[in-house]
Structure 1
Amino acid sequence: MSETIAHSYSATFDENNQEFSIVGSMRPQHEQELAACIGLFEQALSKVRGTLYLNVKRLVRLNNIAFKVISGLLVRATGERSDLRISIITSSVVGWSTRKFTPLSQLTPRIVVEQYDNEFYPGQAFVEDGEIISLLRTQTKLTWRHERNLLPRHGLMPGMSVADICCGIGDFAVLLHKEFGPSRLLALDHSKPSLAYARKVAADFGIDGIEYVYGDASEMLIEDNQFDFVTCRHSLQIFDRPELILKELFRICKPGGRVYVTNEKNSHCLGEPRGESIQWTYNEVAKIVAHFRHDIEIGPKSRRLLLDAGFDAVRMESFMVTNLDGDPQDFADIIGAWKNLFAGKMSSMRGDGPEFVERFRRGFDDHIFAALHPKGYAGWPIWVASGRKPL
């Protein structure tokens, strides 16, 4: 059931998930303006057993009148029903909401406030590590050689409105801006340090046409049907529920527009000589990443994920980044950064023993050896997929 009030916010109730959601801007001048919302909430209460989830992840504004009404409803409901528990789901993207609602949990232990993205982004600390910036820039340098030719095949043309979701340090958005001249380019990420760096990169290149937005890719504060082309690179693989990201990418894409994703299958990294050692290490990379609830093997699954999300006309291909793509040292630098991340920080956090770590690191060293060997070959495969939002 749902109700839209005064075109400024909507209130909906999902009975299957026992979730009452409020989206938009709730700023009434009088309590009476919230009568419809109150009625819907009371209907929801009559159907709930156990826990009612109040989802305010996309409630961008809430004045004191509305807060007084909502908090009163919550406190009264838990007072009248001893079997009822209320979980208020907030997001760091709407930073005030956690602070605003937390005092309610002090009034009654049966109201709890949970910041959703603390759990949804279990590996955020890894991608916000300052040491990873040089790695990401080098990766983009090598992948762009391929993607600048792939993007037009997947539907990107000059003058389109484009969104780069999970934009990271922003270097890809800068390259899009320079190469394709979009009419609008929005770049969104959930990492404040990454966005700060992205703004610096754009300033260094004298580019002021990119809209940088702090946001949760699974609950974007962006209206429906906004962009002709939406990119999301190397990102589905670091979220434990990629289908939620794809749902949002679908929503903000215009009908007839396309969503473009790239992902990896890290166990398919290869090199010669010393191929056996290299293969063993990258199989272990897949396992350690899975331990932290990521899926760095997701690349070949991209077609199924796009189709399941409702896209049609799905196109899929792959390319191999190699030590022959320019300076072999660039490829070796990427592997060295991987070694520090996977066989360093992640391995330490997982509690791996010294013998395992030694063998784990050796495989990366052997991959570097293959990359720099005058007769060697080293590869890193990337899967590209795009889907059209049906008209």
Structure 2
Amino acid sequence: MSSHDLFPRFKARYDINNQEFSISGIVRPHSIDELASSLQLFKDAISGERGVLYVNIRRLKQMNNTAFQALSRLIIDTCRTRADLKFVIITSSVVGWASRKFARLSQIESNITVKEYDSEFYPGQSFLEEGGFIPILRTQTKMTWRHEREILPRHGMRPGIVMADICCGIGDFAVLAKKAFEPSRIVALDHSQSSLAYARRVAADFDIKGIEYVYGDASEMLLDGEQFDLVTCRHSLQIFNRPELILNELYRICKPGGRVYITNEKNSHCLGEPRAASIQWTYNEVAKLFKHFDMDVELGPKSRRYLLEAGFEDIKIESFMVTNRDGDPQDFADVIAAWENVYAGEMAVKRGDSPEFIKRFRQGFQDHIYSALHAKGYAGWPIWVASGRRPR
């Protein structure tokens, strides 16, 4: 890989292994001369490739017309002289102007394709972010918070720190952390506009200050590196098809000596009594269902390996069981009912499961609810907690 520092505010890189030319930062030159080294790097990439050359602009915050015209001219001219080379321009909905602007190129030349990376990278988003799921997300956080409040100080949480909550969802965890531990600053980032809108309303309704809700792609965050003492990412790596990319970003924004804290599940270990066999069968099938959509709800015990491979040290890992005895058993039952509606509803139907399978699949969730509400029953949902320190 080679790279050129073109100007203090932007960079261009060419990764020969991935056939990818990338530009990041703020590209606003006064004249074309300021782009000479980056354009030469792009020309070198073009001359050395056949087939497909990826142009990655996911981290391109701003680009003026001088830069856009120079880059697009080079791409179009190449298409007209090189039938053996196609361009795939990778944008992000986080910087929506780029998708709109570069889409014009695909209308001019058939060998140019523009893809918004987010839609492929977040396979579970459409299932989980709809507004109707919000009450259940709040209930889940309420149930896990009873445990996490005691666990967090062992993983780097303390008053006065600068904290980021990545994949913050509806923002309820950030609010609880703010109230309980009083970090000096919290940046809460998520890829769902609807979830962030809800989070901002809640913060305004409760007059909660000190939480900055930011729209962003967790795999390509527009956040400066090495600025947070604690970075949290809860129940999220398991719904991304390449969790290592998220972990690389969590590592980047964490201060040396700071910690990254993650929580994930192993859904096949959900349990209940009575009717244990039916419950066990269904949650084994849940794991297979998520795998079909490139998600891994078995990730929990793998957390230590993922953190080590991302470069963290001093790994701490523990687990806890959320149960029907954590407060009102009806809360537990409501969570399971919501899972049934999503997993045995939209997801199973989209996979193409038969009515007979879906009927048995639903029965396991209903039996889990039965065990949660039974006077002598017990129902559990296991969570793995892990954190790692970024080396100093």
TM-score range, shorter chain: over 0.9
* Alignment-derived partner of residue 155 in structure 2: 154
- The question of 1:52 aligning with 2:53 is answered yes
Please give the alpha-carbon distance, in whole angstroms, between the structure 2 residues aligned to 1:260 and 1:210.
18
AA aligned opposite 1:373 = H
* Alignment-derived partner of residue 63 in structure 2: 62
Please give the alpha-carbon distance, in whole angstroms, between the structure 2 residues aligned to 1:2 and 1:375.
64
Please give the alpha-carbon distance, in whole angstroms, between the structure 1 residues aligned to 2:230 and 2:374.
40
| Worse overlay, 136-145 or 38-47 | 38-47
SS in 2 for 1:93: helix
Shift of 1:40: 1.4
Please give the alpha-carbon distance, in whole angstroms, between the structure 2 residues aligned to 1:82 and 1:349.
38
Q: Deviations over 1:256-315 (max 9, x none)?
A: 000000000001000001111111111111111111111111111110001011111110
* Alignment-derived partner of residue 94 in structure 1: 95
Please give the alpha-carbon distance, in whole angstroms, between the structure 1 residues aligned to 2:7 and 2:361.
59
* Alignment-derived partner of residue 131 in structure 1: 132
* Alignment-derived partner of residue 317 in structure 1: 318
Please give the alpha-carbon distance, in whole angstroms, between the structure 2 residues aligned to 1:17 and 1:336.
43
AA aligned opposite 1:199 = R
- The question of 1:304 aligning with 2:305 is answered yes
Please give the alpha-carbon distance, in whole angstroms, between the structure 2 residues aligned to 1:23 and 1:279.
47
- The question of 1:29 aligning with 2:35 is answered no
Please give the alpha-carbon distance, in whole angstroms, between the structure 2 residues aligned to 1:312 and 1:187.
24
Aligned-CA RMSD value = 0.9
Alignment of 1:183-332 (within 5 A): 183-332=184-333
Shift of 1:351: 2.1
TM-score (norm 2): 0.98
Please give the alpha-carbon distance, in whole angstroms, between the structure 2 residues aligned to 1:203 and 1:377.
38
TM-score (norm 1): 0.98
AA aligned opposite 1:205 = F
AA aligned opposite 1:353 = S
| Worse overlay, 231-240 or 290-299 | 290-299
Shift of 1:58: 0.5
AA aligned opposite 1:259 = V
AA aligned opposite 1:195 = L
Shift of 1:82: 2.0
* Alignment-derived partner of residue 345 in structure 2: 344
Shift of 1:36: 1.3
| Worse overlay, 168-177 or 342-351 | 342-351
Q: Deviations over 1:60-82 (max 9, x none)?
A: 10111111100111111222222
Shift of 1:328: 0.8
Shift of 1:26: 0.5
SS in 2 for 1:94: helix
* Alignment-derived partner of residue 123 in structure 2: 122
* Alignment-derived partner of residue 356 in structure 2: 355
- The question of 1:375 aligning with 2:376 is answered yes
Large movers: runs of 4+ above 6 Å: none
Please give the alpha-carbon distance, in whole angstroms, between the structure 2 residues aligned to 1:89 and 1:76.
19
| Worse overlay, 314-323 or 281-290 | 281-290
AA aligned opposite 1:180 = F
Structure 1: where are the runs of 5+ without partners?
Answer: none
Please give the alpha-carbon distance, in whole angstroms, between the structure 1 residues aligned to 2:82 and 2:328.
68
Q: Deviations over 1:69-99 (max 9, x none)?
A: 0011111122222211111111110000011
SS in 1 for 2:25: strand
| Worse overlay, 347-356 or 107-116 | 347-356
Shift of 1:353: 1.8
Q: How many residues align?
A: 391
Q: Deviations over 1:314-351 (max 9, x none)?
A: 10010000011111111111111111111112122222
